[in-house]
Amino acid sequence: MLIKTKSNILNSEVTDRAVFESRREFIKAATILSAGVMLPISGHAETGKNIGPYSAKLHVTDREDVTSYTNYYEFSSNKKDSTILARALKTKPWSVEVAGEVEKSGVYNLEDILKDNPVQERIYRFRCVEAWSMVVPWLGFPLGEMLQRFKPTSKAKFVEFTTLYNPEIMIGQRSNGLDWPYVEGLRMDEAMHPLTIMATGMYGDELPNQNGAPLRLIVPWKYGFKSIKAIVKIRFMENMPGTAWHKSAPDEYGFYANVNPEVAHPRWSQSHERVLGSSIFTPKRNTEKFNGYGEEVAALYSDMDLKKYF
C-alpha cells in the first residue's frame, strides 16, 4: 500500500536521488546482516518502495542527531544523559500484556508479535511539542493490523499503552515528575489509521534503547510525547484513559496532541519549528497542521473544535 499526499516541501529539503538510493542500499545490507529475527523485512522495504505521504522527498535527519537527542524522562530530563543511561536497559526477552475489552487477552512474546506483523519502512516527519522536528526512517508495522488480531470488542473505544516500570534501571522513575509508569492512549479510529505504526527499528536496524526499544508507538500527525516508548501493556478501554503528560499539566498537553500551528503552547508558539541538525543560521520551518498529514487524517476530527480539544 502506497499512501500519497500533497506537500509543500522546499527544494532545499529534497534529498538528491542518488544519495537516497545509495542510503537505501546501505540500509538493506545492514538490515540483512544485523536485524535477524527481530526485524523481518516486508516486500515494501526490500523493493525500495516507501510507505507514507513524503517518502523519498523528505531529507532524512542524520542518525547521530536522532539517537543522541531524545526525550526519555524515565531515564533523565537531559536529552544527552538519557542516551547513556538507557544502555543499561535489557530488552530481550520482551513481552506485551494485552487486556481490557478484547477477546484475545494474554501475554504475548515480542518474537511472536513480529512473526505476525511483517516490518515495513516508513519515512515520517516527527514533531516535538518543544518546537523541534526531525525526519526518521522507521521500521515497523501498522498498529491497526496488530490490534485487529486481538479482536477488540464493540466496547473498545480507546486503546491505552503503558511503558515498562523499572526504577532500578530507569532512574528517572524515582522522581515525582510524572505519574509512573508512563501511559499514553489513542481513540480506536486513530489507532487503526494506516499511518499509525508500532516501530521496532530505525535506519535499517533495531531501535536503540534511548529511542524506545524494543517497541514504541509512532503517530506522525501528533506531537512526539504521544509516541510512547518501551511498551509492555496494551489495554482496550470504553473510556478515555488518563495519560501521563495530560494528567501532569492538562492546560499544556492535551490528550489529542495533534500538531497545530494555530494553538500555542502556554509558554511558546507552535507556528515554527527548529529542524534537528540544522545550523543556528537556518531559518525555522513553518509548522504544518497535522504535521503535514492533514489530507490523510483531518477527517478524523471534522466534528471537533481543534483549538478546544488540543
pLDDT tens-digit profile of 138-148? 999 999 999 99
CA 172 to CA 166: how far, in whole Å? 10
CA 113 to CA 118: how far, in whole Å? 9
Q: pLDDT tier at 11 (50, 70, 90 boundaries)?
A: very low
Give the Cβ contact number of residue 254 at 10 Å.
Answer: 21
CA 131 to CA 284: how far, in whole Å? 10
Architecture of domain 13-298: Alpha-Beta Complex (3.90)
| pLDDT tens-digit series, residues 158-206 | 999 999 999 999 999 999 989 999 999 999 999 999 999 999 999 999 9
- Does pLDDT of 124 surpass 50? yes
- pLDDT at position 3 is 40
The dihedral through the CA atoms of 292, 298, 301, 303 has a sign that is positive
Give the single-character DSSP code of 282. S
Q: pLDDT tier at 58 (50, 70, 90 boundaries)?
A: confident
Give the C-alpha distances (Å, rounded to integers) separating 296 from 7, 70, 197.
Answer: 12, 27, 14
State pTM to two decimals.
0.84
- Does pLDDT of 293 surpass 80? yes
Cell of 105: 487477552
Cell of 169: 534501571
